[in-house]
């Protein structure tokens, strides 16, 4: 199993550009999520999905869109990038969180720089 | 809402010293899960341990040990006889039972010097 994979590893954008961060998992996990990591703030939840066709907002959803058309994939879209979105983005997946089997496993991260 | 506090921003030790990382959480939930993750310089997040709020037994895994005290809302992590490879950022995290949201502390950077 590859686990959770993310592409690209690193991206530079100009303000106002759009892009999609890709996330895929091959563990048949129903739950997937996106976090951003900023210095001194830990990881903050952007959006999450509890299954194909079901998504919801996390703590910091503004400026990001998600969709979940398959169990395996959970892309994160930046419609109009802003310098405040410069961060490291992590995708995670798990069985149902809040349950004994619900440990979240993380992808390798995408480092995004918005100029 | 839950809050996870890791008061130590950075800890620097010499190899073979023990180091303890503090984690304190605030919640109104009666049942929950606590986690520790390690982020080495390479950047990935590595799961270390999950603890159920029902289980207050301390746990030891090699040089790692965890002390969970529900009465003080703390879940501290000790590295015994630290090694250079232990240099990383360590995150404590909290997940209420039957909730989808994992809340992280700000992290503690551990530097182990040879």
Q: Which residue would you say has higher pLDDT here, A101 or B46?
A: B46
Per the document, the length of chain A is 115
Among A42, A66, A91, most B C-beta atoms within 10 A, so best to mutate, is A42
Quick check: A99 contacting B, CB < 8 Å? yes
Q: Give the model's pLDDT for residue B98.
A: 80
Q: Is the pLDDT of residue B87 over 80?
A: yes
CA angle in degrees (0–180, nearest 5) for B114-B10-B104: 125
**Mean pLDDT, residues B30-56 taken together:** 92
A:B CB pairs within 8 Å: 65
Q: Exposed, middle or buried, A62 (CB in 10 Å: 0-12/13-18/19+)? A: exposed
Contact B95 A42 (CB under 8 A): no
**For residue A101, what pLDDT band results from cuts at 50, 70 and 90?**
low
**Mean pLDDT, residues A93-101 taken together:** 77
Q: Is the pLDDT of residue A40 over 90?
A: no
Of the partner residues A40, A56, A108, the one whose CB lies closest to the CB of residue B44: A108
């Amino acid at each position: 199993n590859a686990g959770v994979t993310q592409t690209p590893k690193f991206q530079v954008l100009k303000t106002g550009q759009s892009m999609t961060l890709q996330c895929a998992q091959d563990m048949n996990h129903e739950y997937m999520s996106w976090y951003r990591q900023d210095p001194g703030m830990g990881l903050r939840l952007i959006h999450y999905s509890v299954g194909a066709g079901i998504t919801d907002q996390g703590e910091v959803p503004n400026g990001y869109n998600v969709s979940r058309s398959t169990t395996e994939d959970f892309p994160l879209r930046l419609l109009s990038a802003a310098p405040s979105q410069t961060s490291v983005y992590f995708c995670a997946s798990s069985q149902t969180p809040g349950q004994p089997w619900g440990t979240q496993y993380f992808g390798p991260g995408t480092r995004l720089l918005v100029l | 809402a839950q809050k996870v506090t890791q008061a130590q921003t950075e800890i620097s030790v010499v190899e073979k010293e023990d180091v303890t990382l503090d984690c304190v959480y605030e919640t109104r939930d009666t049942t929950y899960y606590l986690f520790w993750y390690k982020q080495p310089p390479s950047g990935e997040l590595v799961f270390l341990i999950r603890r159920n709020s029902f289980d207050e037994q301390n746990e030891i895994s090699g040089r790692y040990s965890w002390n969970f005290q529900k009465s003080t809302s703390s879940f501290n992590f000790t590295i015994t006889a630290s090694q250079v490879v232990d240099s990383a950022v360590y995150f404590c995290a909290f997940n209420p039972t039957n909730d989808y949201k994992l809340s992280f502390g700000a992290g503690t950077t551990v530097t182990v010097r040879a």
